[in-house]
């Protein structure tokens, strides 16, 4: 498998490099948090961050830079995941996982976001549990919890093979790291996450689940077919693992493509084991099904490599890039910024220090980003009024209204007084303001 990993890495890197000039929203948010950390600000204390700490801290390894180093980091991470998959399911599991984490919805497979960052500790925890290392399995489950709140389900999966107090002790060993982050961490990550998961914009969740899962099975058909051809050999623990993984997909009733990464882990492991024992002709026929996602998504990668970025789902990024360019041409190194709406790519591209304790608008207007471009459905009793009052105390050098042009009812000026600011640029989906007459407001941006 060692030599194959080099080839696998080369393929994964080549695919990811086609997205060299793109910064997807899902990766821009943790990258923005990491940039703030590099400037001496602490998550949960100095700025609001509703993801576990490892999702941002991971970006510190390469200075939270976009471009080729980000894509290299992604390729190395997927290769690590593939190697771990090979420990559990053999070489075919490694290739299946690498293919499915390369050819898919770009915003999901390209972004080193929490759902993707959970894959490696998920695989590692189950592998260690299956090979009789309960303490390490529990410890890796604790690492998973630092990357994603679904780390609790990783622990449950590990306990299927290692129902031992040592597994729980390993998991508990990292809990002090979560406790030391204090009440703000629990409020922003766990309480806010629970509220987010308890309400969905999906009108008919059951129908959406069937539709999305059917699509997922179609694109992952090689793994699904291989895994269930030998269903009689699947023991109860693997069935339970599949059940836990499917439940994790359904949490929040949104069924985004990245949620299915959790289910992908046990499916490719079972598929890899089944493929090892198949006759050669059957194995070739099943592996040929991997051409389905390749045929669907590779042409777009080729277009990107050739410089063609004229996609509808890149329009917002192009707009963000234009705004960021204007700011970079005029801003000084000490300037601060606040972006209204969920546009973390602007923060990540400018790399400016946050001028408020917030990286986006959701904690302030209580309208979740999965609906705020078209709706005005405010979630009650979340403390947004108090946070808005404190927002008015701050005076960043640059304000970007990245929501108002798309949904005028949620425009920035309805929430924040723009006295002293000058509108200097308009784009199809953003207004850019610059501070020209300071009002002597608070400059100490901290969550209080």
Q: What is the DSSP string of 322-382?
A: HHHHHHHHH--TT-EEEEESS-HHHHHHH-PEESSS-SSSHHHH---TTTTTT---PPSSS
Instruction: Report pLDDT for 354.
Output: 94
Whose structure tokens read 């640029």? 425
Q: How far apart are CA 309 and CA 339, in angstroms?
A: 24
Q: How far apart are CA 29 and CA 354, in angstroms?
A: 13
Instruction: Report pLDDT for 192.
Output: 85
Nearest CA to 287 among 272, 277, 265? 272
Instruction: Report pLDDT for 372.
Output: 66
Instruction: Report pLDDT for 381.
Output: 74
Contact 146, 189 (CB under 8 A): no
- Rounded to the nearest 10°, the torsion over CA 224, 225, 228, 233 is -120
What distance lies between CA 61 and its chain's CA centroid? 17
Instruction: Report pLDDT for 203.
Output: 72
Q: What angle do CA 32, 36, 41 make, to 5 degrees?
A: 150
CA dihedral over 402, 405, 411, 416, signed as positive or negative: positive
Q: Structure tokens of 135?
A: 């303490």
Q: Structure tokens of 336?
A: 């601060």
Nearest CA to 174 among 206, 210, 203, 146? 146
Instruction: Report pLDDT for 359.
Output: 94
DSSP string, 56-81: HHGGGGGTT--THHHHHHHHHHHHHH
Nearest CA to 23 among 65, 63, 73? 65
Strand ranges inside 154-219, DSSP E = none
Buried b (16+ CB within 10 A) or exposed e, 406-423: bbeebbbeebbeeeebee
Instruction: Report pLDDT for 443.
Output: 61
Which helix (H) or strand (E) covers residue 400, if one does?
strand 398-401
Instruction: Report pLDDT for 251.
Output: 84
In the DSSP assignment, the letter for residue 442 is B
Q: What is the model's pTM?
A: 0.92
Instruction: Report pLDDT for 307.
Output: 84
Instruction: Report pLDDT for 199.
Output: 79
Q: How far apart are CA 174 and CA 170, in angstroms?
A: 8
Instruction: Report pLDDT for 444.
Output: 66
Q: How far apart are CA 121 and CA 98, in angstroms?
A: 16
Provide the residue-wise pLDDT of the chain in tens; the chain has 448 residues: 778 899 999 999 999 999 999 999 999 999 999 999 999 999 999 999 999 999 999 999 999 999 999 999 999 999 999 999 999 999 999 999 999 999 999 999 999 999 999 999 999 999 999 999 999 999 999 999 999 999 999 999 999 999 999 999 999 999 998 888 888 999 999 988 888 777 777 778 888 889 999 999 999 999 999 998 877 788 999 999 999 999 999 887 888 899 999 999 999 999 999 998 889 999 999 999 999 999 999 999 999 888 888 887 788 899 999 999 999 999 998 999 999 999 999 999 999 999 999 999 989 988 887 776 666 677 777 888 888 888 888 999 999 999 989 888 889 998 998 989 999 999 999 999 999 988 776 666 667 6
Q: How far apart are CA 315 and CA 305, in angstroms?
A: 17
In the DSSP assignment, the letter for residue 408 is G
164 by Cβ neighbours in 10 Å (0-12 / 13-18 / 19+) ranks as: middle
């Amino acid at each position: 498998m060692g030599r194959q990993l080099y080839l696998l890495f080369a393929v994964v890197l080549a695919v990811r490099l086609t997205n060299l000039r793109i910064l997807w929203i899902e990766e821009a948010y943790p990258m923005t948090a990491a940039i703030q950390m590099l400037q001496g600000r602490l998550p949960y204390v100095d700025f609001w961050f509703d993801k576990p700490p490892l999702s941002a801290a991971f970006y510190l390894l390469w200075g939270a830079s976009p471009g080729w180093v980000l894509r290299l980091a992604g390729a190395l991470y997927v290769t690590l995941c593939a190697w771990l998959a090979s420990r559990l399911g053999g070489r075919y599991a490694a290739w299946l996982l690498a293919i499915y984490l390369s050819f898919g919805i770009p915003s999901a497979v390209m972004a080193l976001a929490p759902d993707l960052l959970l894959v490696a500790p998920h695989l590692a925890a189950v592998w260690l549990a299956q090979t009789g290392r309960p303490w390490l399995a529990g410890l890796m489950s604790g690492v998973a919890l630092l990357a994603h709140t679904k780390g609790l389900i990783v622990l449950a999966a590990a306990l299927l093979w290692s129902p031992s107090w040592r597994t729980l002790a390993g998991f508990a060993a990292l809990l002090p790291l979560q406790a030391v982050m204090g009440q703000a961490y629990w409020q922003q990550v766990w309480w806010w996450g629970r509220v987010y998961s308890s309400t969905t914009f999906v009108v008919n969740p059951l129908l959406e689940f069937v539709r999305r899962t059917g699509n997922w099975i179609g694109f992952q058909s090689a793994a699904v077919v291989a895994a269930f051809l030998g269903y009689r050999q699947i023991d109860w623990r693997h069935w339970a693992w599949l059940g836990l993984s499917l439940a994790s997909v359904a949490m929040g009733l949104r069924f985004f493509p990245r949620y299915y990464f959790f289910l992908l882990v046990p499916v490719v492991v079972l598929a890899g084991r089944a493929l090892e024992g198949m006759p050669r002709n059957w194995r070739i026929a099943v592996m040929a099904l991997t051409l389905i996602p390749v045929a669907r998504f590779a042409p777009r990668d080729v277009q990107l490599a050739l410089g063609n970025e004229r996609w509808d789902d890149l329009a917002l990024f192009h707009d963000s890039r234009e705004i960021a360019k204007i700011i970079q041409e005029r801003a000084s190194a000490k300037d601060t910024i606040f972006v209204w709406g969920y546009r973390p790519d602007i923060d990540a591209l400018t790399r400016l220090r946050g001028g408020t304790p917030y990286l986006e608008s959701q904690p302030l207007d209580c309208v979740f980003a999965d609906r705020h471009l078209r709706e005005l459905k405010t979630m009650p009793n979340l403390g947004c009024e108090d946070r808005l009052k404190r927002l008015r105390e701050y005076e960043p050098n640059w304000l970007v209204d990245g929501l108002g042009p798309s949904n005028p009812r949620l425009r920035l000026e309805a929430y924040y007084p723009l006295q002293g600011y000058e509108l200097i640029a308009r784009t199809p989906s953003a207004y850019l303001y610059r501070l020209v007459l300071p009002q002597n407001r608070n400059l100490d941006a901290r969550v209080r």
